[in-house]
Every structure is written in C-alpha cells, then in structure tokens.
Amino acid sequence: MPRHDGRAPNEPRPVTMERGFARNSAGSVLYRAGGTTVLVTAHMSDKVPPFLEGKGVGWLTAEYAMLPGSTPTRKSRGPDGRATEIQRLIGRSLRAVIDTKALGPWTVHVDADVIEADGGTRTAAITAAFVAVADALHNKLGSAARTILRDSVAAISVGLVDDLPVLDLDYVEDSTAKVDFNVVRLGRGGFVEVQGTGEGGTFSRAQLDTLLDLADAGITELTNLQRATLGDHWL
C-alpha cells in the first residue's frame, strides 16, 4: 500500500546536508529531510563543566529548540519538557562516539534549531550534529579529530502506520501512527538508543524486528551520506 506521499515503505525522505552554513561556527550544517529543516551548529570552548575540572577529560553538551515559525501555529519561545528531553538525547548520542579523554579540556557545544518541522526533528538533529561536530573538531584541533571521534552516529524514525511498517515518518504519519520509534545507531553498528512506544496499539516481537531492520537500513544510508558530505573530514 503506497504512503500518502507516494514513498515505498522502506523509502526515506530526500535528505540534503549543507556544511558551513553558519560562518561564525566552527562546524555547522543546514539539514533538510523532506519538509523538516534543522540548523545545527557546533562551537568549542577551552573549559569544561565544574564536575570535570582537573580530570583531563572533555565534554559535549547540546541544546535544542523549535523556532517560532517552525510550525503552522506559532511555537512559543523558551524551554519546555519536550525540548529538554530531546537535547539530552542529542547529547547522549554524540557522547557515544567521542573519546572524552582524547578530547582533553574542551567542551563541544551543539545547538540544534528547528526551522521547519514536519516530523523527525530529533533524529534529523542527531544526524546533522555529527557532521557539525566532526567539522568543529577538525577545524579547531586538526588531525587529532580522528582520535577523538571513535565512530559516526545517525538516527531515523520508524513506525506502524495503518499496520504497515514504514521508515522515516513525516508529521502526517507520525501523528497517526499506532507505534513509532526513534532509533540511534553507530555507523559501524551498535544501537545507542531505541525510543519506542505504542501510541494507539501494541506491537509484536516480529513487528519490532521488522522496524529495527528498517531503521538499520535507513541509518546505513544516512551514514553513507554523512561520509560523502564530510569528505576529507570523515573518520
């Protein structure tokens, strides 16, 4: 059964990544996945949070926000519970691929701002953030970046829409899905996080396996795109 936008069940939305979009940032990416657009920037500071001072390790922290014009009804500015949960997810996902000891006394600050929201904003932010962080590390620390980055990381959504397992849900699908997952995986394999819930139904073990297989294939595509986008700054 075709999806509302004509995509096959295992077909992701078209993705583009524009590096260096924000010239004042050490790393930045304008990421588009269908109707979702996210700007991610990465800055570096030569100090660490107080709980890491003197320990010889670095840190990565992330902030996430949806801009007022990102949704049809104006999104109010300011922190909210959803944004806090998402920025913690982004931070965990990126720290999974960073050797904080090799990073040394630096903090990487990731800022993800959603310009247009059409589903999958958190997964888009994670995938884009890796590219921004890789560029920031290379631009600030040179070849040492390759010892700091242990792997790549990317994320994508999957779900059951009208009982059909589908990859990379847009807003229409996400808002009606009986089950949806956000899956974060390393480039070489190994899941960092799987967030899943039955919004309007339950799912079987077989359906879970199918969804994870879909996500696995989708993340492999995104990893290849990250590699092509970064070029000489790849791992």
Domain boundaries, the chain: 15-233
pLDDT attached to residue 2: 77
pLDDT attached to residue 1: 67
Question: Residues of the chain whose pLDDT is less than 50?
Answer: none
Taking the whole predicted model, whether its pTM rises above 0.85 is answered as yes
What is the total residue count of the chain?
235
Q: Record the tokens describing residue 147, joined without a space.
A: 């010892």
Strands 27-33 and 15-19: antiparallel
Fold of 15-233: Ribosomal Protein S5; domain 2 (3.30.230)
Looking up tokens 């007022």 gives: 68
Helix, coil or strand: residue 168:
coil
pLDDT attached to residue 170: 98
The whole-angstrom separation of Cα 206 and Cα 201 is 15
pLDDT, one tens digit per residue, over 43-96 is 999 999 999 999 999 999 999 999 999 999 999 987 789 999 999 999 999 999
End-to-end CA distance of the chain: 39
- Count Cβ neighbours within 10 Å for each residue of 40-68 and write b for 16 or more, e otherwise: bbbbbeeebeeeeeeeeebbbbbbbbbbe
Q: What burial class does residue 9 get, using C-beta atoms within 10 Å of its C-beta: 0-12 exposed, 13-18 middle, 19+ buried?
A: middle
